[in-house]
Amino acid sequence: MQRILLIVSGSVAAYKALEFARLARKAGFSVTGLLTAAGARFVTEHALAAITGGPVFRDLWSLEDEVQAGHIRLARDHAAIVAAPASADLIAKMAAGLADDLATTVLLATTRPVLVAPAMNPTMWAHPATVANVATLRARGVAFAGPAAGEMAEPESGVGRLIEPPLLLDAVRALLADGPLAGRHALVTSGPTLEAIDPVRFIGNRSSGRQGHAIAAALAGLGARVTLVSGPVSIPDPPGARVVRVESAREMLAACEAALPADVAVCAAAVADWRPAAAAESKIKKAAGGSPSAILLTENPDILAVLAAEGPKRPRLVVGFAAETEDVLANAQAKRARKGCDWILANDVSAGVFGAEDNAVTLVTEAGAEPWPRMAKEEVARRLAGRIAEALA
């Protein structure tokens, strides 16, 4: 049983730490609670102790605990340290190397992996000081999970929400490489591709990357080493994945080929089928009289077909997506046969799936079609990751 030290700092999202602790224990982890003074303003020591099933640590100056070098023991006797929620204040103290309470002393004394799950107002998250602090901690090897975008406790919205407890648990599993996909390499594509017309215009699509990013997080949560090749998106990087950022379809293909070999490839990106044959080097001016200029298009490389082609580097399992607006199942079945991939997830995008929080897909395999009910994209990702783990077992 792996032991996790859970540091709960001051944030209204601290109540989610209790749910995370419950899920982690259910998944087989042992959880030790550590409350900061500010964290104790939002959840009680008794509540955290009841959920973790053990004592909660709070005081750096406790004679009972420190007679046995309690802060060193907490820093070294756990497989990982998880700060969730991690306030802007805690992140700043970590970056500065301060050790003025039990939490920061433990974080300074540990040699174990550290995972930080930020939670704060979007303006605080975007502040240059926080951006610099996060960059400093990342450079030191500290892992981050989130924050997510959405509504805040105050009447504002933006990036700053603590990620949901199941995703945080996925991030912990990825950090510890613990799960049925441990030792496996997963390649995932996500988001749109943008094909330049000139320096200021492009051909693109409405993909948000939410489904592909969720799949990357779910695979990492099962222990896989994940390479995520992503087009331009505005959502945070998924926890546990190495992200390669690209713009065009040709850049995405090159990044995918560079990431091989892989045990599984999941092509969830919405790749543009066509691109301008030649991108103008300067902005195209409006023609006299207002008549539009014609743009000659050429076909983009078919990334799914390339990855599914037989060869020494073909992943054992290749999974594609079929975003359709009509005859969804028939088109998906034809696409699976045409591309040569093993599975296709068919989804109807006529109802505004791009950017939405949920999805309804049908898993198409050689054995037939299996419709899944509409569910959150994160749940689609977890179900798919579970099926992938079964197939690679």
Residue 190 to residue 85: CA distance in whole angstroms: 27
CB 244 within 8 A of CB 228: yes
The pLDDT mean for the chain works out to: 88
Task: For residue 193, give both structure tokens.
Answer: 């591709």
Cis peptide before 373 (omega within 30 of 0): no
CB 191 within 8 A of CB 231: yes
Q: For residue 116, is pLDDT > 70? A: yes
Q: For residue 268, is pLDDT > 90? A: yes
CB 122 within 8 A of CB 158: yes
Residue 67: predicted pLDDT: 46
Average pLDDT for 52-69: 72
Q: Is 121 a catalytic residue?
A: no
In this structure, of 166-170, 202-206, 326-330, the range with the lowest mean pLDDT score is: 326-330
CB 247 within 8 A of CB 232: yes
Residue 299 CB partners (closer than 8 Å, separation 6+) = 273, 274
- Give the up-direction half-sphere exposure of residue 160: CA atoms within 13 A in the CB hemisphere: 21
Residue 342: predicted pLDDT: 95
pLDDT digit string (tens) for 184-200?
999 999 999 999 888 88
Task: For residue 158, give both structure tokens.
Answer: 């933006």
Residue 179: predicted pLDDT: 77
The domain ranges of the chain are: 3-176, 185-392
DSSP labels, 113-154: -EEEEE---HHHHHSHHHHHHHHHHHHTT-EE--PEEEE-SS
Residue 2 CB partners (closer than 8 Å, separation 6+) = 28, 29, 30, 79, 80, 176, 178
Q: For residue 119, is pLDDT > 60? A: yes
User: Is the fold of 3-176 the same as that of 185-392?
Assistant: yes
Task: For residue 103, give both structure tokens.
Answer: 């939490």
Question: Please, what CATH class does the domain formed by 185-392 belong to?
Answer: alpha beta
Give the angle 33-138-48 at the CA atoms, nearest 5°: 10
Sign of CA dihedral 65, 67, 70, 73: negative
| CATH domain 3-176 topology | Rossmann fold (3.40.50)
The dihedral region occupied by 32, where left means phi > 0, alpha psi between -120 and 50, and beta the remainder, is beta
More confident site: 327 or 162: 162
Residue 287: predicted pLDDT: 67
Which residue from 393, 21, 5 is spatially nearest to 222, judged by alpha carbons? 393
353 pLDDT band, cuts 50/70/90, is low
CB 265 within 8 A of CB 257: no
Catalytic hit among 121, 133, 205, 300? 205
Residue 347: predicted pLDDT: 83
DSSP labels, 151-166: E-SSS-EEEEEPPPHH
Task: For residue 255, give both structure tokens.
Answer: 């990044």
71 pLDDT band, cuts 50/70/90, is low
Tracing tokens 């929400």 back to the chain, one arrives at: 161
* Distance linking the first and last C-alpha atoms of the chain: 22
pLDDT digit string (tens) for 32-55?
999 999 999 999 999 999 999 999
70 pLDDT band, cuts 50/70/90, is low
